[in-house]
Chain A
Amino acid sequence: MKLRQGRRGSILLLSIFFLFTLFFLAMALLQLLPVELNAARWARMNHEASYAADAGITDTITWLEEVLAGKQGRLSDLTEDLERRDSFGDWTWFVKVEPDQQTRQNNPVRVFRLTSVASLDGRPHRRIVADVRQDSFAHYLTFIGASDNRAYWRLNRDSKLEGPMHVNGVASIAYDNDWFNTGVPFFEGTYTASGFHVPSGKPEGFGDGVRYRTTTGFDNSDTPYNEDGVPIPERYDRIFTRGREALKTGVREREMPETSRNLAKEAWGETPLPLDQGVHLDTSPGQANKKGILIQGDVESMELSVVQGNSVMTVVQGTGEAEQETRVTILSESGMTLPAGSEVNGAVLPREMDLETGNTVVQKPDAGGRKVFTVAPGVTNGLVYCTGSIQGLQGQNKGRRTIAVDVENHKEIVISGDLTRQDTPVGEKPAGTDDLLGLLGMNIRIGNSVERDLNKPLQLYCSVFAGRKNRDGKYEGSFLVDDLESSGVGKFIIYGSVVRAQDSPWLMSWVNSGGAYVGSTGFVANMKYDDAAAANPPPFFPTMPTLRVLSWKEEPYR
């Protein structure tokens, strides 16, 4: 073999040069790639962990709502700590459900803290802590169980709806012709409706679901959306303080409960109700704090007052010679002395008896010349349940209280005068929830004894729940004005919620045969939102099987 001669090492030199160049390029890539890969992997893992923890919270909320709706599980299970877990792919989530103290004590407005931890291969990565609270009807400033096709909410330049409003059915809004040029937002809160209205001749889903009309009638050009259904933001801004975002149509129906009899159990327990007319209180040790006050029979009048710092409720039943007055005093601020010779829980007192705070005293009609008292150790759970109607209710409330009547038997509450609160000067917005009052009946009526004077408005510091959805799915009952068509115009100011099954007018406007306005009768309504009551409603005020997220904190798991 002949050796090739005359070739020097240029190939070797070139190879070495290329090698070095490639080496440096590889070094650069080696430094770049892991940093980039790590950053991408870390970001991806964080996202996945966040979604996994979020899935845990969402799944748990859905499950809790099903339990609250009675679709699965037992409500009593919700008074203890619970744990839930599930996995998908390599990820697992673990949720701890912690009821708050009041939920453990069976408060119908349940509150839970949910802590969801997302783990990959058993190693925790991310945590979400969320506080959720069961929705109460007191959340709404106004609620209508079934919308009336003939009724519209007329936008008014002189008043506003300060809180959320919900309608089961189609939302209907009416306004002046020039509202979109000169109007000011009427709805300060959200407006939700379960129905969805489509203007005639338009395709399914056209518009925003609301039925609009102006003073002169419906006109497509007078809607807050254009002829293609595209929202005109500046028009929505003249209806809703929060603009288009405040309106949600086609949401799920919020069903009113069929009965209030469950409240009779909360007031008296599982044992059969006493049959004799009068005010009843369970005197068993430890029961007066857990139970309420039961009133058997119709009540002619109920006066709420505050005496020496104690809440007093004076109940009159029967008329004429059969009239009986019973006085219930909850000793929260000062004690009471019962005179010698009076009958207390069936025994005659040989000497005076001093009662300390923390007791409830029922003074019944005198019997045989003796004063008759029932004394129970405790201040009740705040519930007053009456099997009959209450024909006149007024006064000043102290303490958290709900007065309920038997809705299933169509019992009513008639408001006969101002309902004020001890903790709030008349005319001011309530600052706390210490003296909340809730009213629950088939109808809650403003009685005809209430003076109709625009300068002396009826002051109502209470949340009203009137009506029900019956077994046939029909909404019945409402918040009404007695003798609506009688002469005179009054005004009522209500600080709280007005929940009613049926829409009903409080004010009638009259026109003569020529169509000219000749006057009004009834009451001008002024509804003020009590957001503290919305968050912490009166005791046993009806709730919904839905949960509201109030806080959300997401953080890496440490």
Chain B
Amino acid sequence: MRSPRPAGMTLAETLISAAILSILGLILLRIYTVSHQAYSHGTGQIALQQRARFLTEQITPLLSAAAPPHDGAKALFSPNSASLVFYVPDKNFQPRNPHYIRVGIYHNDIDQTVWLENSATPPSNQEEMFRSRELAREIYDLRIGLPTENTVRVTVEVRGLTRTAGGDQAEQSYLLENLLQIPYYSKN
């Protein structure tokens, strides 16, 4: 007569189960950590991307209005890699007697802001779209290049901190590059 199977687990079974569960737990913890990091990184990237996109969406319509003040002149020039000067139609633009005013976009690397500066004075002479103002904040770097006289390359770099799974903070950056063709040149 066979003896009845003892109830419960043997020590070996318990140890093996505990080991398997520990390994599974570790794998799951790793998955969780990676997921959390990916989530934090992803949300951080999205926030940075939105900040960079916001600036390029502010700049693009401004640059698309650029036109040379007269034939033989350039519509835009870049005094240095962090600023751009260009001409736009003045507030009361008269096509039969056209006047253009000088505006500039520059990056202040001390407080990490980007500004639009309009040369028309007093400010009431500045058209709403082109009035002097702060365009964006928390912009780590703005680089402006002119590959040709009718295209502008705008590179925006933004940086931010994200919290890791361990509670530490890590810096991440996002680089957005836009190449814009000035309609004045493509149409004329």
Q: Which residues of A contact B17 (CB under 8 A)?
A: 10
Q: Contact between B148 and A100 (Cβ–Cβ < 8 Å)? A: no
- A252: interface (CB < 8 Å): no
B35 interface residue per 8 A CB criterion: yes
- Asked whether B42 is an interface residue with its Cβ less than 8 Å from the other chain, the reply is yes
Please, which residue of chain A has its CB at the minimum distance from the CB of B50? A39
| Contact residues, B102-125 vs A (CB, 8 A) | none
Say whether chain B's binding surface is mostly helix, strand, loop, or mixed. helix
Query: Contact check: which of A133, A190, A548, A550 meets B89 at CB < 8 Å?
Result: A550
Closest to A164 in B: B71
Contacts of A544-558 to chain B: CB distance below 8 A = 548-555
Report chain B residues within 8 Å CB of A21: 28, 31-32, 35
B40 → chain A closest CB, angstroms = 9
Residue A371 lies at the interface, judged by CB distance under 8 Å to chain B? no
Most central of B39, B50, B70, B72 by chain A CB within 10 Å? B72
Q: Give chain A residues whose Cβ lies under 8 Å from the Cβ of B74.
A: 242
A535 touches B35 (CB 8 A): no
Chain B residue at minimal CB-CB distance from A32: B42
Q: B72 and A164: CB pair below 8 A?
A: yes
Q: Who on chain A is nearest to B31 by CB? A: A21
Inter-subunit contact B71/A553 (CB<8 Å): no
Q: B183–A549 contact, CB under 8 A?
A: yes
How big is the B interface, by class? 35 or more
Q: Are A6 and B7 neighbours in the complex by a CB distance under 8 Å?
A: yes
Q: Does A374 sit within 8 A of B, measured CB to CB?
A: no
Do residues B21 and A10 form an inter-chain contact, with CB atoms below 8 A? yes
Is B11 located at the chain interface by the 8 A CB criterion? no
Contact B95 A189 (CB under 8 A): no
Decide yes or no whether A69 CB sits under 8 A from chain B.
no
Nearest B residue to A29 via CB reads B39
- Give bound CA distance, A102 to B95, whole Å: 11
Docked-complex contact B65 and A550, CB < 8 angstroms: no
The complex places the Cα of A17 from the Cα of B35 at a distance, in Å, of 15
In the complex, are the beta carbons of B89 and A163 less than 8 A apart?
A: no
Q: Annotate A235-270 by CB proximity to B: 1 below 8 A, 0 otherwise.
A: 000000110011000000000000000000000000
Q: A549 to B89: give the CA distance in the assembly, Å.
A: 12
Whole-angstrom CA separation of A46 from B38 in the bound complex: 29
Which residue of the partner chain B has the closest CB to A532? B97
- Of B46, B50, B64, B72, the residue contacting A241 (CB under 8 A) is B72
Chain B neighbourhood of A551, CB < 8 A: 65, 67, 89, 93, 95, 98
Q: How many residues of A contact B (CB 8 A)?
A: 55
Q: Does chain A have a CB within 8 A of B3?
A: no
Residue of B nearest to A17 (CB): B28
Kindly state the separation between the CA atoms of A21 and B35 in the bound complex, as whole angstroms: 9
Q: How far is the CA of A263 from the CA of B32 in the complex (A)?
A: 84
Interface string of B18-46 (1 = CB under 8 A from A): 00010011001001100110110011001
8 Å CB contacts to B: which residues of A457-497? none
* Interchain CB contact (< 8 A) of B98 among A57, A163, A550: A550
Minimum CB–CB distance for B55 against chain A, Å: 14
Residues of A within 8 Å of B137, CB to CB, are none
Q: Verify if B2 is at the interface (C-beta below 8 Å from A).
A: no
Q: Which residues of chain B come closer than 8 Å to A24, judged between CB atoms?
A: 32, 35
Residue of A nearest to B56 (CB): A43
Contact of B187 among A43, A58, A190 (CB under 8 A): A58
B39 and A32: CB pair below 8 A?
yes
Residues of A within 8 A of B98 (CB): 535, 550-551
* A354 interfacial contact with B, CB 8 Å: no
Q: Which residues of A are interface residues toward B (Cβ below 8 A)?
A: 5-6, 10, 14, 17-18, 21, 24-25, 28, 31-32, 35-36, 39, 43, 46, 54, 57-58, 61, 100, 102, 109, 111, 130-133, 139, 162-164, 188-190, 241-242, 245-246, 433, 529, 531-532, 534-536, 548-555
Known: A164-B72, A549-B188. 10 other contacts (CB 8 A): A10-B17, A35-B46, A36-B46, A46-B57, A102-B96, A130-B183, A242-B149, A245-B149, A551-B93, A553-B89
Chain B residues packing against A (C-beta within 8 Å): 5, 7-9, 17, 21, 24-25, 28, 31-32, 35-36, 38-39, 42-43, 46, 49-50, 53, 57, 61, 64-65, 67, 70-72, 74, 89, 93, 95-98, 129, 148-150, 183-184, 187-188
Jot down 18 A-B pairs with beta carbons below 8 A, ordered by A.
Answer: A6-B8, A18-B28, A21-B28, A21-B35, A39-B46, A43-B53, A131-B89, A132-B95, A164-B72, A242-B72, A535-B96, A549-B67, A549-B183, A550-B67, A550-B93, A551-B95, A552-B183, A554-B65
